[in-house]
Structure 1
Amino acid sequence: MWTRLAIAALAAGLCAPAHANEPLSAIDWLSNSVAIPPVTPDASISPAGPIEDISVAPLGAPQLDAVGLLPVSVTGLPADLWQESSGRELSRQIGALPPDLLPSMQRLLYTLLLAELDAPIGDENALFLARLDKLLALGALDQAQELLERAGPTNPALFRRWFDVSLLTGQEDRACAAMRAAPGIAPTFPARIFCLARGNDWNAAALTLETGNALGFITEAEDALLIRFLDPEFADFAEPLDVPHRPSPLVFRMYEAIGTPVATGHLPLAYAQADLRSITGWRGQLEAAERLARSGAIAPNRLLGVYSARLPSASGGVFDRVEALQALDAAVLGGDADMVAMALPPAWAAMREAGLEAAFASIYGERLARIALEGDAATLALWLGLLSPSYETVAAAFEENASARFLISVARGLPTEPDDARETAITAGFAETTELDLQLKAMLDEGRLGEAILQAINRIAAGQDGDLADLTQGLAVLRRVGLEEAARRAAIEVLILGPEA
């Protein structure tokens, strides 16, 4: 039996609202799984002046901002990429990047988010949280989870992200075990009840629900959901619950547990990962895989695996894309040029409509370039080859193709005479004589290379939407910091995937 003293002790750890002192970089769908108690200053200390800029860490403790998965030997980036910049400014720029980047810029962003680099100015961990939250916004849960585990999710801000990622990847038992083993983590009542139930301690879960209600820390909506979660028989005859518009991962999993799964189509990308599990119907898996492939969160071959899982038994929408891709796949495997020529145009149209050209090119680009095709099919095969990682090999093989003269020259890094405004902007981006504007020049002169790269990504995003001056500046920056391949592939993508292509 719980005593008043025990309840009071629990309340002391949990009564702070979960949004109290929440990091500015937190994204709004994260669950309030742990309470972050307010910081109480020590009354015995009377500092003579402000101490906001002083940070304290145990000797030898790693700086979170420096934690990464990809060493410099893999990324090729200089270790001091962030070092001359403010962590807060870098986090702001990462958060402000548009969601629909060109595939090459998306890959570059992932490299920056996962790179192991020296920490920026100010040991505030703002950059680490911004990197995590951008990964979560992209639906890249596997990468975010690995990054969190490399850092060690030992403080509330990191733990709540790790807990939510674990819920969405079906590893809730592991997350609950970690919560029980971390005395510094104070779970909120719903999270504690969920974990007690997952550990088959139903009596403790029910008692905690009663305690939470008595203390006023559980809302009516949470109470209605938790009762059904703890008592499936009650759920059988109780009124059905309203479907939440923006559930937290904790609420999402409890709705699933009571037999009322929430559709993920309108939810943030991270929720789509839950639909890749085998318990989801094939259509749900297809739609989730397409969303995640567009954001670069899953590899193209994983998308192909979902597409190839079975034959479509219906038509329309995603099933038409599956049928088109499966027809092309069979033709390519058979090595029949005539069949490939018939299957390629509808497959390209289907993938383009879904925004999956990059994944499509990664799977088939190199193979199609080796098949002798003519007419429109040959043009599409060339485009896909240039959009693939083998773009340089493909460009060399098609060097004499007069109709794609400029495109091939860009793939080789030596643009020829341009024919229109977009080609002129790209040519200027590759010219050594192009001057950078004052903002970008200052970043490079001051050694703020990471900021310059983030700005280049942003400028190229504006360029793909028609701002050709920004396109030139973005390409020029990438080349001057040694990211030649990223610049070439971005230019190729603007030419092929642009609105006039």
Structure 2
Amino acid sequence: MPGQEDGGAPLSAIEWLERQAAGAVPLRPDPAEPPVANTADVPEVSVRPLETGPMADAVGLLPPSVTGFPQTLWQESRAAELARRVAAQRVEGQPAMQALLYSLLLAEALPPADAGREARLLQARLDKLAELGAVEPAEALIARAGPETPALFARWFDLSLLLGDTSEACTAMRADMHLSERLGPRVFCLARAGNWAEAAMVLDTARAIGAIEEPVGDLLARFLDPEAASGPELAPSRDPTALEFRLREAIGAPLPTSALPLRFAVTALGGDAGWRAEIEAAERLARHGAISENRLLGIYTQRAPAASGGVWDRVAAVQRLDAALARGDAGAPGRALVEVWPLMRAAGLEVPLARLFGAELAALGLDGKAGEIAFEAALLSPDYERLARELPAETPQARFLAALAAGTPGRAEAPDARAEAIAEGFAAAPPPELARMIEADRLGEAILRGMELYASGRAGDLPDLAAALATFRTVGLEDTARRAGIEAMLLGRGR
């Protein structure tokens, strides 16, 4: 889980969605079926209201056939507790946990039994997706659920702003002005529809009675009146709203996304802010698993780097490795790998690199330093289990990692205390707290708690690391447990 490639290697939730959007997963009816009816009779059509209220918490983008999770994933837990645990997740530098979290956040499943119209679990899922930079999946999720409440509409509007298309959100708000409790979006949508005079009147009234937040009021005034746009210089903002961000952009005072929360990085992916800004945004998103490694590579290889140092050194090194593998040179890939690996590792991007090139590098039979790196890359790649069987394991750590990749770390000597904790996790039962959750069919809650323990274990609390891995294996997340164990060895305490 979640999903499988044709060759059997699992796809991450984000990668699965990107392939679906690109057409790898069919979204339309069979084109061989003729687009005509057999008769001219009017078919019977049944009409019923769309599900709203508590069912919004059930909405997802990934069906059980992709995630492997049962429909009862959330049903036996309390919505407030689930929302709290979702918000508490910290998965930076933990690729296996990132993939698992995205699967949970995007899964279709029955809502908690106490779910209410406010859809607290859906709100928490949306907020976490946005926090991780997965803005497109978040927007698709809320569009499918329907922004039936002001809280959900506010999130839909903000996500639409970040993606650069508010037409549907504005149309919905004009049809029902009660959807937005904030006046800023109303003024913005009126202006976007060409109702400049009405937008100015609403803004003036709102500012006069203190009913609109600042600096949005000032920004809207400048947006509506080009002469006011050249007013006093605006103070920078470290955590702007999506509306503030877009308004600053519209009046010619854009904020660089590199210093802003991760959700803003998606706005730089189109390249309008320049190639460097696009690369830096893509790297930030790739670190959090919010875009696939293939998308990152596509951005890296758009053109030749125009400078050196920092991000340009990484770009040039990745391009050299990609070119060396494509040419099939005997020694060039090894030299390029030794150069690029420490650069990507220092930037927290060795896992995307391993996912891109790990299998190719493993097939080259590299030796020396390049061979050591190729072994690590293979273990961090999607096909880690097969590659670990085929590559020589010449050190105690390598032999332990090979056994771990096969799911039997106890068959090899543990080289250190961290390895001992990992082996224990593959031999022990989950702790009583989590065993009770699993027995009570609170599966999603148990997984979220296991992820919290894993983060603690990666940071140095080794009993928590063992408990987390035992929990994952008990609930059928064998691949996650193996990947998480490998990452705990090769990526250390995380970042």
**Secondary structure of the residue that 2:376 maps to in structure 1?**
helix
1:414 is displaced (CA, Å) by 1.1
Is 2:171 the partner of 1:180?
A: no
For 2:73 and 2:112, locate their aligned partners in 1 and report how far apart those are by CA, in whole Å.
8
Conserved in 1, the CA contact under 8 Å of 2:52 and 2:148?
no
How far did residue 496 of structure 1 move?
Answer: 1.1
Contact between 1:335 and 1:371, CA under 8 Å: does it hold in 2?
Answer: no
Contact 2:98 2:289 in 1 (8 A): yes
Greater CA drift, 157-166 or 442-451:
442-451
Q: Is the 8 A contact 1:167 1:175 kept in 2?
A: no
Q: Say if 2:76 is the partner of 1:80.
A: no
1:40-80 Cα deviation digits (max 9, x unpaired) = xxxxxxxxxxxxxxxxx998876122111111111111221
What is the match of residue 8 of structure 2? none
1: CA distance, partners of 2:72 / 2:88: 22
Q: 1:167-206 residue pairs with structure 2 within 5 A?
A: 167-186=161-180, 188-206=182-200
| In 2, Cα distance between equivalents of 1:455 and 1:241 | 43
Structure 1 residue runs of 5 or longer lacking an equivalent are 1-56
Partner of 2:375: 382
Aligned to 2:415: 419
Counterpart check, 1:136 vs 2:118: no
Superposition misfits of 4+ residues, deviation over 4 angstroms: 57-62, 399-403
Aligned counterparts of 1:130 and 1:423: Cα–Cα separation in 2: 34
Q: How does 1:140-155 map to 2 (within 5 A)?
A: 140-155=134-149
Distance change >3 Å, CA 438–CA 357, structure 1 → 2: same
The corresponding residue for 1:28 is: none
User: Which of the residues 221, 226, 246 maps onto 2:220?
Assistant: 226
Residue in 2 aligned with 1:459?
453
Deviation at 1:443, TM superposition (A): 1.6
Whole-Å separation in 2 of the counterparts to 1:435 and 1:209: 61
Which residue is 2:298 aligned to?
305
C-alpha displacement of 1:228: 1.4
Partner of 1:291: 284
- Decide which of 85, 88, 102 is 1:93's aligned counterpart: 85
Q: Distance in 1 between matches of 2:51 and 2:303?
A: 55
Matched residue of 2:239: which SS? Answer: coil
Q: Deviations over 1:143-189 (max 9, x none)?
A: 10111011011211111101000101111233322322335424633
Change (3 A) 1:62 1:214: closer
2:474 matched residue in structure 1: 480
Instruction: Give the superposition deviation at 1:201.
Output: 2.1
Q: Displacement, 1:121? A: 2.7
For 2:80 and 2:369, the matched residues in 1 are separated by: 49
Q: CA deviation at 1:402?
A: 5.4
Normalising by structure 2, report the TM-score: 0.85
Residue 339 (structure 1) shift:
0.7
Match of 1:429 in 2: 425
Structure 1 counterpart of 2:384: 391
- After TM superposition, give the deviation of residue 219 of structure 1 in Å: 5.2
Q: Write the distance in 2 (CA, Å) between the matches of 1:242 and 1:326.
A: 39
* Offset, 1:398: 1.6
Structure 2 distance, partners of 1:420, 1:480, is 25
- Aligned ranges for residues 259-270 of structure 1 at < 5 Å? 259-270=252-263
Q: CA deviation at 1:350?
A: 0.9
Indicate which of 330, 339, 361 corresponds to 2:332: 339
CA distance in 1, matches of 2:78, 2:198: 47
* Alpha-carbon spacing, 1:407–1:186, altered in 2? closer, same or farther (3 Å): closer
Q: Which moved more, 1:483-492 or 1:217-226?
A: 217-226
Give the SS at the match of 2:260.
coil
| Counterpart among 204, 210, 235 of residue 229 in structure 2 | 235
Q: For residues 489 and 333 of structure 1, do their structure 2 counterparts lie closer, same or farther at Cα, with a shift above 3 Å needed?
A: same
Q: CA deviation at 1:208?
A: 2.0
Give unmatched runs, 5+ long, in structure 2: 1-48
Q: 1:103 is matched with which residue?
A: 95
- Structure 1 position 481, deviation (Å): 0.7
Distance 1:59 1:308 in 2: 45
Q: Partners in 1 of 2:379 and 2:468 — Cα distance?
A: 20
Q: Residues of 1 paired with 2:213 and 2:155: CA distance?
A: 22
CA distance, structure 1, for counterparts of residue 217 and residue 79 of structure 2: 40
Q: Does 1:246 align with 2:242?
A: no
When residues 151 and 59 of structure 1 are mapped into structure 2, their CA distance, relative to the original with a 3 A threshold, is: closer
Q: CA deviation at 1:235?
A: 2.2
The RMSD of aligned alpha carbons is 2.0
Identity over the aligned pairs, expressed in percent? 49
Question: 1:259 offset after TM fit, Å?
Answer: 0.4
Partners of 1:354 and 1:427 lie apart in 2 by 29
Taking the aligned partners of 1:397 and 1:100, their CA distance within structure 2 comes to 30
The Cα of 1:211 is off from its aligned counterpart by: 2.2
Q: Could you tell me which residue of structure 2 aligns to residue 122 of structure 1? A: 114
Change in Cα spacing, 1:230 to 1:183, as seen in structure 2 (3 Å) is closer
TM-score, normalised via structure 1 length: 0.84
1:60–1:288 CA distance, 2 compared to 1 (3 A): closer
Q: How far apart in 2 are the matches of 1:115 and 1:484?
A: 19
Distance 2:255 2:472 in 1: 42
Judge conservation of contact 2:418–2:462 (CA < 8 Å) in 1. Answer: yes
